[in-house]
Structure 1
């Protein structure tokens, strides 16, 4: 079975991965972006990082995206749904390849990738064990209706910068509240930062993911 998207892969050297994270980049980036978080986290994670299907010419480089939009915050419906379907297929591919139970796989995304991670979880909640949504939002109900509105207590970490100059912090707060209405176990954290992941945010991510490791601990202490 071939992966439905181009992906980057990182595994902890000399350790058995105890959690698999599908890390979804933001608009204008690529599959290598969030792989850079793996080593600083210092956890026995397998990180699978897909590349968005839409190619963007940035003038000085090429980047990728998951969907287009006419108005910021309103994904173009057809392309948005196609990316949801591709990421759902990637979830199935990853689980099959490494024989993972649902709670051994977490979706993590930044910005547009956070939008995708939450939306995929609301599409296939029975196949995803948790979500980390960094500086993102959920599309308005007028634009996209989640196929499922009961996440059954799925653990979700939502973070946002209080000084976010691209996606307002109110959008992160609204996403967290809607996820609670969808019966997710939400932890919401704000940090004094712009549209980014700062050191304090990284520590919260480390702690949240560290609490979801599976399998025997490393013998080295």
Structure 2
């Protein structure tokens, strides 16, 4: 099986043969690269496997998983294609690397957050937790995608109080949708725009560290 995406992987230097490790699949925003997302949780490199997945489409100085007709309005065929490709990539990585299949997490910002939330709803028990920064759940995903059981899922939603693209009411809508459907959920708004603030990054690292040891 070949990878459907280019990617960057960090594994603990002290990995031991026969031992599996938690993994975080990191998905970037439009115009960014996988290395931007890996840097958000780089201090966890010796505790788990981190895989940054590069979008397959060029966009400005970076990449995208899909293009947009407008904010909140993705090219639907490209969106669906990327969801399927990411599902296959997760299987590819789990077969290739010493990954603990019971502790697989998704981390995403903006476009990456949208895809992370969509994948968590679609893949069910394959994903243990998702950390979505400045994103949302598309209405067509709620209405048309086959939503799997998510009562096991841990979720950390975050956004920026000054985000001009996805303002806090978007995060609140996602929180209201998920809070009765998942095992645990945290929702936090930061003093930031459409970006990952230092406080958000620190909380993300702490949340992942807590989750993988549960």
State the TM-score, normalizing by the size of structure 1. Answer: 0.86
- 1:99 is displaced (CA, Å) by 4.8
**Counterpart residue number, 1:22:** 25
Deviations 1:75-95 (A, max 9, x none): 221110000001101111122
**Counterpart residue number, 2:58:** 55
**Counterpart residue number, 1:9:** 9
**Counterpart residue number, 1:86:** 85
Q: What is the alpha-carbon distance in structure 1 between the residues aligned to residue 63 and residue 142 of structure 2?
A: 22
**Matched residue SS, 2:211:** coil
**Counterpart residue number, 1:113:** 112
Pick closer, same or farther for the CA change 1:84–1:144 going to 2, 3 Å. Answer: farther
Q: Is the 8 A contact 1:149 1:182 kept in 2?
A: no
Deviations 1:183-210 (A, max 9, x none): 3521111111111111211221122111
Q: Is the 8 A contact 2:22 2:212 kept in 1?
A: yes
Q: Greater shift after overlay, 81-90 or 176-185?
A: 176-185
**Matched residue SS, 1:103:** strand
Q: What is the alpha-carbon distance in structure 2 between the residues aligned to residue 174 and residue 20 of structure 1?
A: 28
**Counterpart residue number, 1:32:** 35
- 1:167 is displaced (CA, Å) by 1.7
**Counterpart residue number, 1:131:** 130
Output aligned runs, 1:136-215, within 5 Å: 136-141=135-140, 145-148=144-147, 150-214=149-213
**Matched residue SS, 1:19:** strand
Give the number of equivalent residue pairs. 211
- 1:168 is displaced (CA, Å) by 1.5
- 1:212 is displaced (CA, Å) by 2.2
- 1:69 is displaced (CA, Å) by 2.1
Q: Is the 8 A contact 1:77 1:144 kept in 2?
A: no
Q: What is the alpha-carbon distance in structure 1 between the residues aligned to residue 88 and residue 45 of structure 2?
A: 28
Greater helix content: 2
Please report the RMSD computed on the Cα atoms of aligned residues, expressed in angstroms: 2.2
- 1:43 is displaced (CA, Å) by 5.8
Q: Greater shift after overlay, 125-134 or 175-184?
A: 175-184
Q: Which runs of 5+ in 2 are unaligned?
A: none
Q: What is the alpha-carbon distance in structure 2 between the residues aligned to residue 144 and residue 4 of structure 1?
A: 27
Q: Greater shift after overlay, 94-103 or 107-116?
A: 94-103
- 1:34 is displaced (CA, Å) by 1.0
Pick closer, same or farther for the CA change 1:21–1:160 going to 2, 3 Å. Answer: same
Deviations 1:139-166 (A, max 9, x none): 1248863311531230011111111122
**Counterpart residue number, 2:70:** 71
